[in-house]
Structure 1
């Protein structure tokens, strides 16, 4: 599977570990940065790069990492079409895809270690959206409707 991966400086070491792991599993991984962990940078920049790459069709799924996971998760979910979920357990990693069609897994580098991060990514990638169950499709469509109501034609995500 082709994936995109990105992290800020705080998530850089875990990104490198997860990227290498995914490549050993045969995945094609497009690394969108950061390319070093010793330069302070801003997590929204990497969340936006990853979201734009998914929307452009570079890959259908992505892995996004920062120190806690919270910042990149908030930023990524501002992008229409991105459904990012922060996961620190394997149940959430697969359930987010199965029930909510999550297309980005978010990890907190200061929260999870490499072994757990690899398990989380495996669980995320193995999962499929359960589109044949009416309740999941109904809920997913409601999420899309909310997104459409708040998306403005000027590229912003505000009703104001």
Structure 2
């Protein structure tokens, strides 16, 4: 069985959270594709959303986690790509529902708006939760792909 590859990307506002989550995921044995940024220098979040979209489209990763200061900008940028279903979440319930009901393939977190323990919990739930399908599949299909 091949190991699922999780892509991580952030702008400068999410770099600290990305670094923390990368270590947590590596400690759990996850394969990581780190798409940047790699320091706190100011960068443009749409570039990292596009890098994520490209990695998902070409199969280098099956799911991803994006971060910027609030998560808002990078989620808007990511959702411009038809094959991305990025969900900005703030708690465990949102992380569960974005997978169960929306089949989100990208989790989005605010690096400056969420604490590390909540972020860790959201990531763990996002990765462990399966899409329910059923009535939700019809709705997700209307999102385009």
TM-score (norm: length of structure 2): 0.95
Write out per-residue CA displacement over residues 44-96 of structure 1, whole angstroms, 9 at most, x where no aligned residue: 00011011101110111000000000000000000110000001111111111
Runs of 4+ deviating beyond 4 Å: none
CA RMSD of aligned residues (A): 0.9
Query: 1:127 and 1:25 mapped to 2: Cα distance?
Result: 16
Among candidates 123, 133, 146, match of residue 125 of structure 2? 123
Q: 1:28 and 2:40 equivalent?
A: no
Q: Which has the higher contact order (CA 8 A, sep 6+)?
A: 2
Q: Which residue of 2 aligns with 1:155?
A: none
Q: 1:100 and 2:94 equivalent?
A: no
Q: Which residue of 2 aligns with 1:16?
A: 19
Q: 1:64 and 2:66 equivalent?
A: yes
Q: Which runs of 5+ in 2 are unaligned?
A: none
1:129 is displaced (CA, Å) by 0.8
Q: 1:6 and 2:9 equivalent?
A: yes
Q: 1:142 and 2:137 equivalent?
A: no
Q: Which runs of 5+ in 1 are unaligned?
A: 148-160
Q: Which residue of 1 aligns with 2:84?
A: 82
Specify the structure having the higher radius of gyration (Cα).
1
1:113 is displaced (CA, Å) by 1.3
1:11 partner SS: helix
- How many residue pairs are counted as aligned between the two chains? 142
Q: Which residue of 2 aligns with 1:154?
A: none
Query: 1:2 and 1:138 mapped to 2: Cα distance?
Result: 27
Among candidates 15, 21, 46, match of residue 48 of structure 2? 46
